[in-house]
Structure 1
Amino acid sequence: MKKIYILSAVLSALTLQAQFTVSIQGPADFKEQDAILYTLNGSKDIIVTKEQSKNNVWTFKYPKNYAGMMKVYFPNTNNSVSFISENKNVNIKLDVQNNKIKDVAYQDEVNNLMNSLQEGSQKKELILPALTQIKEYYKDNTEFGKALKTEIGRLSTGLEDIDQTKHPFIYYYNTNYNKFLSNNSTNKASQDDIINFLDKSGDMLETSSLLRPVLVAYLNAGGNANVGGSVDKLLDRLKVETPRGQTVLSELIDIFDVYEMGELKDKYLSLAKNLKCTITDRLASTLKANANVELGAAFPNYKFQSAVNSTAKSLYDVKADKKIIIFWSSTCSHCESELPQLLTKYNDLKTKNIQIIGFSLDTDKDSYTKKIAAFPWINDSELKGWNSSYTDTYNIHATPSYFILDANNKIISKPDHVGDVLEYFKLK
């Protein structure tokens, strides 16, 4: 029994050790203490752990194998840095100016290689076509012609030098990006090609950030005539009872939400709701976010961060016969044209005891402050952009987004545009 106990203790100790570490070094003038480590599932960031700075260094210990995209987010200064893991230690050094990340130095081999390939890929897509055209006007034996030929040759190189066994994720990401998403791809992938890829890929598909853009490419390849038929064909192959099928279903629901394809969103959201199998966390989060904002649902309460034009502590503390909720941003062009229309009718709404509450997805405090100076309604912001907590809680995929609540904070309308808001209150 004693030997078994000792062996168990050793195994337990090993499981507590980090499989690899992520180390982020910031300069002394970077005024940040907290940092949050994320992994990726499809297009969703998954929180792993939170750490505090020790001498301007954040060290995260990751206990399992992980190959894919990762991110560290600094919540107090709204900075983030993205990188990859191939189950090896990650070392990154930040250059910061005025509390904003100015440059990132990837000091481990894996991320340094990936960064070089990304830069090369961008040049290949943007610069190579132009150089190829310019080359026609210069002879190969001229000095500039030789330089052009050399640069074209360098940018035209593929993944031959990447050892798939040594760098499995880098090889996977770049190979499939070039095949399915690159503008320089000579042979566009068919829907059947993409179905085979989605069906046969391993776990790196979910952690690669490729899933959503590949799904959009799949839908585009089928055209607009029968999008539902294309989706049914895909889901029939993947099987929605499987983790892969449920992740794809979740992504498709979000895609139809983003592109305002309401009938398709409702169709596949209903399919998800009626599944009798065990639901994955990924699909469960999509179902919950949508349930929060269904017509007739109680709009989840929100504790204000630093609301202006109100002494209320939370959304529910605001008393009114009806409330108009707006999710917006000062950098949103549609918000720029729509919110002034609401402003012209503000006094009419106020006389009807209708309150307007704006939640901003801004990141820049000065821009936000200048913009809300013209808005007399209640305004609040976490100043974290799309990292704001309410993007998931209220299933926000675009700005502006509107909700109309009754006196009991139940959702009674979800207008698409400001004109629909004014029409609802017969003010148009």
Structure 2
Amino acid sequence: MKKIYTISALLAAFSIQAQFTVTIQTPPDFKDQDAILYTLNGSKDIIVSKEQSKNNTWTFKYPKNYMGMMKVYFPSSNNTFNFISENKNVNVKLETQTNKIKNVVYLDEANDIMSKIQEGSQKKELILPALSQIKEYYKDDTEFGKALKTEINRLSGGLSGVDQTQHPFIYYYNTNYNKYLSNDASKKVNQEEIITFIDKSNDMLETSSLLRPILVGYLNSGGNTNVTASVDKLLDRLKVETPRGQVVLSELIDIFDVYEMADYKNKYLNLAKDLKCTITDRLASTLKSNANVEMGAGFPNYKFQAPVNTTAKSLYDIKADKKVVVFWSSTCSHCESELPQLLAKYNDLKTKNVQVVGLSLDVDKDSYTKKISAFPWVNDSELRGWNSTYVDTYNVHATPTYFILDANNKIISKPDHVGDVLEYFKLK
């Protein structure tokens, strides 16, 4: 398999004239210096560039045409917020408190409109049903009845006032969200309609954040007994040799991973591995993250950030006959029930020269620090939650996730639950 290197895209990145800019302003007491800009490909965030603050302002220059979802991430404080691009300048002002984002003020037209539509959609789902019931008790010719009717009509409205020619992404996103992801049973679409949409849609499908939920809806519409037939029908139409087909294949592999549908994941992961055509960056990334954690593979080394209960600088520096690596979080309910079981057998594991290494997906330092005070094994965290680097490296989709490594850091087991870990070491 060969990987696509888009030379034109690389050259465009060095263009002096930016296609559009993204400007972020924060109050003077916001302490972060670095910010990272991301675009979207399916459900994967793609790093564009990293900028430093100048007088609490960050300016990103984007060199190409882009319409779709974007986000800015502040790694020091783990703040993040989302917005859209319609290939025009984006201007955002953040309101913060104790170095956390409290409100996002969109100063450009497209994001202001999108924000109001999103707010209206939430009100439509939560408030409109209640207003419709209340309306029965008030006559239309009363002052309150008239106001009630006006508000119901406003919330019932769709994209009125949005010029498709001026705001193509807003129109694309909201039209297709309402059509393919609506909770309204009367608007349900069939599989053929979804396939046609995915096949014929323009590039905004990949940048809209709609692809993953639409694919989940597509699989659900086919039923649990027809998963293979549904997937094969979709991929046959799209052709896995095409960029669209490979993005969808990558998304499906991840979906099956998240929902622990191992047989389906392996089937379509093997399909991806066997491709003889040129593969896209997106599919290459999925293949790499899965290859990193295959049985028998060398577990990639990890350089610790602020390790506890060890002087080791990296995972490989920890010497033991075997290691149990667990990805967890203090906010994870399953971790809350499983890790105490591991703790209860920790001394028995040590007598077998087994070391436990916990890599946390926490965000809140206080919560993480309090929790690890009870865990005597090696602990470390980037305090970036699902933005942590090891999420992609080790293909982590849920917590807790376990790996058992041998003395040479090769994967010898991938337990599903703590009981499987203890069973492996005959401690259950």
Common fold by TM > 0.5: yes
TM-score (norm 1): 0.96
Q: How does 1:355-374 map to 2 (within 5 A)?
A: 355-374=355-374
> Counterparts of 1:425 and 1:127 in 2: how far apart (Å)?
54
Encode CA deviations 1:321-351: one digit per residue, 9 max, x unaligned. Answer: 1000000001111111111111111111111
Residue 241 (structure 2) aligns with:
241
Match of 2:3 in 1: none
Query: Within the alignment, does 1:135 sit opposite 2:135 as a pair?
Result: yes
Separation in structure 2 between the aligned mates of residue 268 and residue 353 of structure 1, nearest angstrom:
38
Is contact 2:68–2:207 with CA below 8 Å preserved after alignment? Answer: yes
Cα distance in 2, alignment partners of residues 76 and 413 from structure 1? 34
Task: Work out the CA distance in 2 between the residues paired with 1:244 and 1:166.
Answer: 26
Structure with larger RCO (C-alpha < 8 A, sep 6+): 2
Compared CA separation, residues 124 and 422, structure 1 to 2 (3 A): same
Alignment partner, residue 266 of structure 2: 266
Q: Deviations over 1:95-130 (max 9, x none)?
A: 111111010000000100000001001111122122
Deviation, 1:245, is 0.2
Write the deviation string for residues 269-303 of structure 1: whole angstroms up to 9, x where unpaired: 00000001000000000000000000000000000
Matched, 1:423 2:423: yes
Q: Which residue of 2 aligns with 1:227?
A: 227
Instruction: Tell whether the 8 Å contact from 1:360 to 1:381 is kept in structure 2 after alignment.
Output: yes
Superposition deviation, residue 13 in structure 1? 12
Residue identity in the other structure for 1:312: A
What amino acid does structure 2 have at the position aligned with 1:82?
N
Q: List alignment gaps of at least 5 residues for structure 1.
A: 1-10
How far off is 1:185 after superposition?
Answer: 6.0
Contact 1:21–1:61 at 8 Å: present in 2 too? yes
User: What code does the residue aligned with 1:390 have?
Assistant: Y
Q: CA RMSD in A?
A: 1.4
What secondary structure, in the 3-state scheme, does the structure 2 residue paired with 1:236 have? helix
Tell me, yes or no, if structure 1 residue 253 matches structure 2 residue 256: no
> How far off its partner does 1:228 sit?
1.1
Flag the 1:131–1:388 CA change in 2: closer, same or farther, 3 A: same
**CA positional deviation for 1:18:** 0.6
Distance in 2, matches of 1:259 and 1:277, equals: 29
The alpha carbon displacement at 1:139 in A equals 2.9
Q: Could you say if the C-alpha distance between residues 185 and 59 of structure 1 is closer, same or farther in structure 2, counting changes exceeding 3 Å?
A: farther
Partner AA of 2:320 in structure 1: A
The 3-state SS of whatever aligns with 1:339 is helix
Letter in 1 for 2:97: Q
Q: What residue number does 1:117 align with?
A: 117
- The residue aligned with 2:58 is 58
Q: For the residues of structure 1 that align with 2:152 and 2:120, how far apart are their CA atoms?
A: 12
Task: Return the letter of the residue paired with 1:81.
Answer: F
Partner in structure 2 of residue 72 of structure 1: 72
Match of 2:214 in 1: 214
Confirm or deny that 1:349 pairs with 2:349.
yes
Aligned to 2:204: 204
CA distance in 2: counterparts of 1:175 and 1:12, whole angstroms: 31
Matches within 5 A, 1:2-41: 15-41=15-41
Deviation at 1:149, TM superposition (A): 1.4
CA offset at residue 12 of structure 1? 9.7
Residue of structure 2 equivalent to 1:403: 403
* Whole-Å separation in 2 of the counterparts to 1:304 and 1:319: 15
**Cross-structure match for 1:275:** 275
Return the letter of the residue paired with 1:280. Answer: T
> Is 1:194 matched with 2:189?
no
**Distance in structure 2 (CA, Å) of the matches to 1:240 and 1:369:** 46
Counterparts of 2:242 and 2:374 in 1: how far apart (Å)? 50
Give the aligned length: 418
State the distance in 1 between where 2:249 and 2:161 align. Answer: 36
One-letter code aligned to 1:217? G
Matched-pair contact (CA < 8 Å) for 1:34–1:52: yes
Contact residue 179 and residue 185 of structure 1 kept, 8 A: no
2:92 matched to which residue of 1? 92
Residue 133 of structure 1, CA deviation: 2.3
Separation in 2, partners of 1:158, 1:13:
38
Is the 1:25–1:57 Cα contact (8 Å) retained in structure 2?
yes
1:169-204 C-alpha deviation (Å, 9 max, x unpaired): 000000000001122463201111110110000000
Q: Secondary structure at the match of 2:427?
A: coil
Q: CA deviation at 1:260?
A: 0.3
- Residue pairs, 1:297-336, within 5 angstroms: 297-336=297-336
Shift of 1:142: 3.5
Q: Does the C-alpha gap of structure 1 residues 318 and 12 become closer, same or farther in structure 2, counting only changes over 3 Å?
A: closer
Q: Distance in 2 between matches of 1:248 and 1:201?
A: 13
> Tell me, which stretches of 5 or more residues in structure 2 are unaligned?
1-10
Residue aligned with 1:408, SS: coil
8 A Cα contact 1:404 1:413, kept in partner:
yes
Matched residues in 2 for 1:253 and 1:275: separation? 15
Q: Distance in 2 between matches of 1:62 and 1:301?
A: 33
Give the secondary structure class of the aligned counterpart of 2:186: coil
* Cα shift at 1:157: 0.5
Q: Residue 125 of structure 1 contacts residue 182 of structure 1 at CA under 8 Å; is this kept in 2?
A: no
Shift of 1:205: 0.4
> Is the CA contact (8 Å cut-off) linking 2:13 and 2:63 kept in structure 1?
no
Which residue type is aligned with residue 89 of structure 1? N
1:363–1:383 Cα contact (<8 Å) kept: yes
Instruction: Give the residue type in structure 2 aligned to 1:361.
Output: L
% of aligned pairs identical? 80
Partner residue in 1 for 2:146: 146
After the TM superposition, which of the residue ranges 340-349 and 283-292 deviates more from structure 2?
Answer: 340-349
Deviation at 1:136, TM superposition (A): 2.4
User: 2:160 and 2:272 mapped to 1: Cα distance?
Assistant: 42
Is the 8 Å Cα contact of residues 12 and 64 (structure 2) preserved in structure 1?
no
Kept in 2: contact 1:291–1:297 (CA 8 A):
yes
SS for the counterpart of 1:225 is helix
Could you give the per-residue CA deviations for residues 118-160 of structure 1, whole angstroms, max 9, x where no partner exists?
A: 1001111122122222322333233433332111111000113
Cα offsets for 1:67-121 (capped at 9, x unmatched): 0001111111111121100010000000111111010000000100000001001
- What one-letter code is carried by the residue in structure 1 that aligns with 2:402? Y
Question: TM-score under structure 2 normalisation?
Answer: 0.96
Bigger drift between 276-285 and 177-186 goes to 177-186
Q: Partner residue of 1:6?
A: none
Bigger drift between 118-127 and 254-263 goes to: 118-127
SS of 1:323 mapped into structure 2? strand
What amino acid is the match of 1:365?
K
CA-CA distance at 1:226 after TM superposition: 1.2
Q: Counterpart amino acid of 1:87? A: N
Whether the 8 Å CA contact 1:125–1:184 is kept in 2: the answer is no
| One-letter amino acid of the counterpart of residue 386, structure 2 | W
Q: 1:185 to 1:107 in 2, by over 3 A?
A: farther
Q: Provide the residue aligned with 2:4 in structure 1.
A: none
